[in-house]
Structure 1
């Protein structure tokens, strides 16, 4: 006799109580609707619900019900390692045997797969990147598709290129969905999907999809904006008001450089904070996450790498700079207010936010001719080509090339195999209309973010409207509703120290260590370790930095006329040299076609200050090679620089040479110039520039 719906619900609530560790826990009706669709009706479902609604409880309870009915293990596609760790811990509390396959535990893959085959695993969590790994895709994925009892797609807005965090690896899920046997339930979940994204994801899930969309209000959040004119004032506000924020929290920044700069300043002001980004070592990231969860630090100063699914009881989120869309902002502020009645959310916008948005916007899908060129190169190759080899033929940087190839893979025009990439020969259509509409949607989102800063309406209502929440109403808790009062006052001492911190120039310029691979394809006979390169160099600041970065952005902005080095930056250079103290017997300047006055004045001024001669120049000998030609990837750039420049200098034997340029983009011009100078007999080469792009 099959169990009744009442029996199944009773059993589901027993599992829920084990999961949350409370005897009085009960499923809400909307949660039960989702569980019933999966475990009883075996349907495909899309759940769009706010952070903290209990989406993980739905798929864990459904897993236990399905396993009791004899179903195979649940496969959860989860985008972040931090999220995976939280999910595994939650699963273990309910007696669920959960394991993960991701890039950090390669040594565990084979034992994990053996445990799955032996029926010893209830839940397998995989990162979306695994879905595009040839071995996993061809050997593991088909078996999982045939035997899994439930497929869960967490943070499902990543499937849609309309979403704020589209990821090409997630598109491989379409293939997985098509390979699932009939009757295998699928659950897609997200807290950040507007109507267009919801429709797009539902269409990708297939026919007869149950869409459960609830209120996106976060009743614990109190939203506010503090508008201050300068970077010094914004840093000072943090220093003066961080201790007032409840509990522990996250200070979000738009760039990695800002996380380090702000964390360093706040520690100097006595605050217990740490920097966190995608560049942080994996082991250190785990330790920092645990410190935040346990309240051992006041805040992590983080990029969006600490984002989706990070589960902790946090009392505040502060954004130093605005994300590029209200939806992305809603995602970040959703880290606060879980498990607490009140949490404070503060946005400190900056003028340079739009410049950073423009930079990330430049990483959009490449032009059609570049895509066609890539496919032609793959088609002409007798064997698979690595991404590094492809870079020597296609002028795209590694990140954009990888992203494009993943899209082509899902579209069926290219395929990732052992050894690299190959063309399939299948026809492929460049969907220019769709890419244009996505770009236009991004522009509208940026304008909406600017409108959020200026609005006098309820801020939560504004965000919920952007997410097409039909139940959106005024919250009564934000600064515009009168529920939050935020002081914009900053102390003079904090502003002075912030100013001193930001005006302190000097960023280390790490020398290149290795030549790009496959340079022989471009007729360049360089490979392996760079044996005759530069020493560690310096720039005054990065263009994205808060202090001197603002003056440098103005200096290098398109349309700014060529001219001498501004006095404030000349002083900063002197300060950098005073701290750095490289050996300088002579100066060599990198010639510039776009800023000849700036670079000549820079070199001449250094010559007068250091009382050493300008001994030569890295001269432009082939002006047909454009100034930034090949800058999209390393191999192309090395080849272009090698054609464009030649060293014209004398008397360098045994000298310590200061190599001077205005702006460092890829670092390859400095690298090749330093090599030429070393080969001319110099004992040492120390690069110095006004700015670097990153």
Structure 2
């Protein structure tokens, strides 16, 4: 292409940009690196990796390139995009540039056939697909080959997902190797991300085939965000952090996001801030799609001061005038932190970014680290089960035979699929029989990286140096320099003081006890495969009533008290007085609340007439003291204890999936004859007391035993609830 041709192409590119950004004057101009990327894709049909800060305009590169390529007869652009919010924003942005965009993802299954027909007719300019689609058997075998053959440009958005989270987040991204291999020669490829250090950049380049051997263009810009003012507010406990939010939320500019580390914390903080008069909404992985969309719209329209969100609100959410991001608890990685704070200040001159670290952060980090790639023996077990089956096995069918939680099992299978050891087909998964080696060195390296990233976040919170420079150095930004804006450069802009009223209200909120426990109603699927003759719906006569717990382990209130108490190896003590007082409050609220035995409702269950405890090998003093004191305060007899089966020398209950738990538990307990007679003659329901409810299966199995022994009903009561 001649220089004159390139000049004409640049002019056409700027014209498309003006439409994209709704510039009626037509004076909008591409950044120099934007043009370099577009030129590489359109004029030279090269592969490019663009690492630029959030808000730089990476989406403009692929939309402008799409328009130019389509005008020259190229096929549609395929964008692999990780989050639904990102897809919604991109479809709207494409329309502004006159580009017809469609999407195939889990939320619009009813539209897939119509979208595929439009693609076949050539009326679609951009197809956005979630990475999970790449390994859907029907899409992979029926749609992907023809799509790869017709693609004019392949875009991998948020490409750091390939490396930065690896098998922990989106192993489906690694399926892109297959699609890249099937692309016709000369089809350009663009990978974009805002959060990649040198390690990640190199890995993404290798994964996507955009390394030096492929003559790739790598465009990496400075990662400073001149609008962001970073700060850390150190506060002594969760109550002070909640109170600080209540006192200072109104001082923060515009509207923004308050990030929490867990769903429970998001819901807890939302309830408290609403109680204090703030207009906020919760946004988590538990939020329904329609409610998520409404919450996003409310924040964009400034109808709420903040969304209190988990990482479910992250990549792809675009509000240019977002005025602040506050983290109530520290993410475990500076890369994740930079990604989330990059939501703010994209279209305003100043935005506040504040971190309020908490002592519970490390326990939450530890939990998420525990769900990394499984040890080799579990992987081999899975491969053996698949190899021994004469048919594909679905996740529900495979789960009872492998000690892995379903989400972790599925993630592992996706990695094995990419490695060629298994294959997803209609009906489930099969083993390919190909040799496979457990990459222990890689997984150990990933674990070391996680530990290093956690230490970096500890260092960030305690640093006296420039905070933006710290983050940029973590991202290997060679142009990192003191920002002059953060609290360490320019002085703190927010006091750590809180008002007495807000602190009292926060303490009241965090001390408010009580978590509902829904009874198990269905047995896990596949139990017959492991020799357990239970299936389908649990008969109503064998189900407990709904139960109660004192608090969730993930709460920022009671969770901080309960986590050390039920941690492995924790000393066994009688229940503390203040904790028992809170349990009494839970029971009183339970009795008087909806469906409670003292509610006065016509169909209210009878009042419990006795107390039964569950045998515990690790915390017998805690459980027995709790049951005994409830018996005294409630003036109910302590009827006895459900024991471990005599032939059971040691109870090993898998904490991985429901089928394995039920397999271990269904014959693990026994109702002694004296207890069976006592519950049968008690003439009413019993209160079943235990220390901890994780999956709820221990309570379900023990309740079933008591009901089959003649109990007239079972009310489960525990101290700690896992989630």
TM-score range, shorter chain: over 0.9
What SS does structure 2 have at the residue aligned with 1:651?
A: helix
CA positional deviation for 1:557 = 2.6
Report deviation, 1:165.
Answer: 6.9
Match of 1:368 among 353, 369, 376: 376
**Residues 458 and 622 (structure 1), Cα distance of their counterparts in 2 relative to 1, 3 Å cut:** farther
For residues 604 and 260 of structure 1, the distance between their equivalents in structure 2, rounded to whole angstroms, comes to 33
Cα 1:87–1:162 change in 2 (3 A) is: closer
Give 2:552's match in structure 1, choosing from 538, 542, 559.
542
Instruction: Select between 543-552 and 396-405 the one with higher mean Cα deviation.
Output: 543-552
Q: Give the SS at the match of 1:67.
A: helix
Select the residue among 204, 211, 219 that pairs with 2:218. 211
Map Cα deviations across residues 267-308 of structure 1 (whole Å, 9 max, x no partner).
Answer: 000000011101100011011111111111000000000001
Q: Is the 8 A contact 1:160 1:166 kept in 2?
A: no
Output the CA distance in 1 between the equivalents of 2:645 and 2:679.
20
Query: Aligned partners of 2:19 and 2:274: how far apart in 1?
Result: 41
1:47 to 50, 53, 57: 50
CA distance in 2, matches of 1:278, 1:100: 21
SS at match of 1:146: helix
Gaps of 5+ in 2: 592-596, 598-606
Q: 1:497-531 deviations in whole A, cap 9, x for unaligned?
A: 00011001001111112110010011111111122
Match of 1:674 in 2: 703
Partner of 2:281: 274
Say if 1:358 and 1:9 are closer, same or farther in 2 by CA, change over 3 A: same
Compared CA separation, residues 490 and 161, structure 1 to 2 (3 A):
closer
Work out whether 1:662 is the aligned partner of 2:665.
Answer: no
In the TM superposition, residue 162 of structure 1 has moved relative to its aligned partner by: 6.1
Return the TM-score normalized by structure 2.
0.94
Supply the distance in 1 between the matched residues of 2:406 and 2:620 (Cα, whole angstroms): 31
Distance 1:613 1:229, change over 3 A: same
**Do structure 1's residue 564 and structure 2's residue 574 form an aligned pair?**
yes
Deviation at 1:682, TM superposition (A): 2.4
Q: Distance in 1 between matches of 2:525 and 2:291?
A: 30
Q: What is the CA distance between 1:484 and its match in structure 2?
A: 4.9
Give, in whole Å, the separation in 2 of the partners of 1:519 and 1:369: 22
**Structure 2 residue 588 is matched with structure 1 residue 578:** yes
Q: Does 1:460 align with 2:468?
A: yes
Cα deviation code 1:35-93 (max 9, x no counterpart): 00111111111000000000000000000000000001000011000010000010111
- Out of 522, 535, 543, the residue aligned to residue 533 of structure 1 is 543
- Contact kept, 8 Å, 2:168 with 2:372, in 1: the verdict is no
Contact 1:308 1:331 in 2 (8 A): yes
Aligned to 1:315: 323
Q: 2: CA distance between counterparts of 1:622 and 1:639?
A: 17
Q: 1:692 corresponds to which residue? A: 721
Flag the 1:390–1:161 CA change in 2: closer, same or farther, 3 A. Answer: farther
Three-state SS of the structure 1 residue aligned to 2:656 is coil
Q: Closer, same or farther in 2 for the Cα pair 1:306/1:165, shift >3 Å?
A: farther
Q: State the distance in 2 between where 1:27 and 1:269 align.
A: 46
Corresponding position of 2:194: 191
Residue from 436, 442, 455 that aligns with 2:444: 436
* Match 1:588 to one of 612, 623, 634: 612
Partner of residue 327, structure 1: 335
Q: Distance in 1 between matches of 2:657 and 2:82?
A: 27
Name the structure 1 match of 2:603: none
What corresponds to 2:91 in structure 1? 88
Alignment of 1:348-497 (within 5 A): 348-482=356-490, 484-497=492-505
SS of the equivalent of 2:679 reads coil
Q: Tell me the CA shift for residue 643 of structure 1.
A: 2.5
Counterpart for residue 295 of structure 1: 302
CA distance in 2, matches of 1:163, 1:587: 49
Secondary structure of the corresponding residue to residue 139 of structure 2: helix
Q: Distance in 1 between matches of 2:615 and 2:116?
A: 58
Query: Distance between the aligned counterparts of 1:418 and 1:622, measured in 2?
Result: 45
> Equivalents in 2 of 1:397, 1:626: separation in Å?
22
- Relative distance call for 1:199 and 1:406 in structure 2 (3 A) is same
Is the alpha carbon distance of 1:188 and 1:551 closer, same or farther for their aligned partners in structure 2, counting shifts above 3 Å? same
Q: Is the 8 A contact 1:163 1:193 kept in 2?
A: no
Q: Residue 602 of structure 2 aligns with which residue? A: none
CA contact (8 A) 1:477 1:484 kept: no
Contact 2:609 2:684 in 1 (8 A): yes
After superposition, the Cα gap between the structure-2 partners of 1:626 and 1:543, relative to the gap in structure 1 and judged at 3 Å, is farther
2:245 counterpart of 1:238: yes
1:504 matched to 2:504? The reply is no
Q: Is the 8 A contact 1:276 1:302 kept in 2?
A: yes
Larger mean Cα displacement after TM superposition, 598-607 or 551-560: 551-560
**Residue deviations 1:460-495 (CA, integer Å, cap 9, x gap):** 000000000001111111000016512111000000
The alignment partner of 2:536 has SS state of: coil
Matched, 1:251 2:223: no
Q: Deviations over 1:252-277 (max 9, x none)?
A: 00000000000000000000001110
Q: How far did 1:187 drift? A: 0.5
The correspondence for 1:555, drawn from 559, 565, 584, is 565
> Which shifted more, 661-670 or 552-561?
552-561
Equivalenced residues, count: 694
Q: What root-mean-square deviation, in Å, do the aligned CA atoms of Structure 1 and Structure 2 show?
A: 1.4
The TM-score, its normalising length taken from structure 1, stands at 0.98
How far 1:372 moved relative to its partner?
Answer: 0.6
SS in 2 for 1:247: coil
2:138 is aligned with 1:127: no
CA change 1:203–1:663 in 2 (3 A) is same
2:232 paired with 1:225 = yes
* Structure 1 residue matching 2:489: 3-state secondary structure: coil
| 1:24 positional shift | 2.1
Please tell me whether the aligned partners of residues 48 and 191 of structure 1 are also in contact (alpha carbons under 8 angstroms): yes
Partner Cα separation in structure 1 for residue 557 and residue 461 of structure 2: 23
For 2:501, what is the secondary structure of its paired residue? helix
Aligned partners of 2:165, 2:561: CA distance in 1, in Å? 35
1:516 equivalent in structure 2: 524
Q: Does 1:607 align with 2:616?
A: no
Of the three residues 97, 105, 110, the one matched with 2:108 is 105
1:542–1:692 Cα contact (<8 Å) kept: yes
Q: Secondary structure of 2:538's partner? A: coil
2:152 to 143, 149, 152: 149
Residue 60 of structure 1 is aligned with which of 58, 63, 72?
Answer: 63
Deviation at 1:599, TM superposition (A): 0.9
Once the two structures are TM-superposed, the CA of residue 627 in structure 1 deviates from its matched residue by 4.2
Instruction: Flag the 1:269–1:164 CA change in 2: closer, same or farther, 3 A.
Output: farther
